[in-house]
């Protein structure tokens, strides 16, 4: 597949265009890596071998944008809920574990030790393992997860 369509915009907007172009040239290649969003087979015959969703997944994973604690101090969950998926994804990666505070309607940073202790507390409170469900990523295949 050629580099047409809208994904050049995602590569350029990622703030790491050269790195992402190199990654896209390695995606779905025998000596590269598989697409994080699907099971597209390896193809060493073409330079670019991915779909638009694959290009988005790779550029979004390699972004240098970060969502720090200031972002959540400025945006209530109600405000964030009204935003588009694109807006939310475009902000970047999380830098801290967070916990929702219903009184302030904001996500607030917590320490890693507390985050893991809180997770463990909820897992231990389950009656059986079948009560637990995990979600890793809407772009990740079962194999990747």
Write out the chain's pLDDT in tens, 145 residues. 444 455 566 666 666 778 877 888 888 887 877 777 666 666 667 777 777 777 777 777 777 788 988 999 999 999 999 999 888 888 888 888 999 999 999 999 999 999 999 999 999 999 998 899 877 766 665 555 5
Distances (CA, A) of 28 to 8, 17, 123: 18, 19, 37
Is 70 found in the same domain as 46?
no
CA-wise closest residue to 15 among 71, 86, 83, 90: 90
Residue 139 included in any domain: no
Is 125 found in the same domain as 104?
yes
Contacts of 75 (CB under 8 A, 6+ apart): 106
pTM (2 d.p.): 0.62
Is 43 found in the same domain as 73?
no
Residues of the domain holding 41: 7-61
């Amino acid at each position: 597949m050629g580099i047409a369509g809208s994904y050049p915009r995602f590569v350029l907007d990622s703030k790491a265009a050269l790195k992402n172009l190199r990654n896209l040239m390695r995606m779905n290649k025998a000596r590269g890596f598989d697409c994080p969003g699907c099971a597209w087979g390896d193809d060493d015959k073409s330079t670019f071998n991915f779909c638009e969703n694959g290009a988005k997944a790779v550029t979004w994973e390699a972004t240098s944008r970060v969502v720090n604690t200031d972002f959540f101090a400025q945006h209530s969950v109600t405000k964030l809920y009204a935003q588009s998926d694109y807006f939310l994804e475009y902000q970047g990666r999380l830098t801290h574990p967070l916990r929702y505070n219903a009184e302030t309607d904001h996500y607030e940073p917590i320490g890693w030790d507390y985050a893991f202790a809180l997770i463990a507390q909820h897992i231990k409170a389950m009656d059986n393992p079948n009560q637990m469900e995990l979600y890793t990523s809407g772009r990740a295949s079962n194999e990747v997860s």
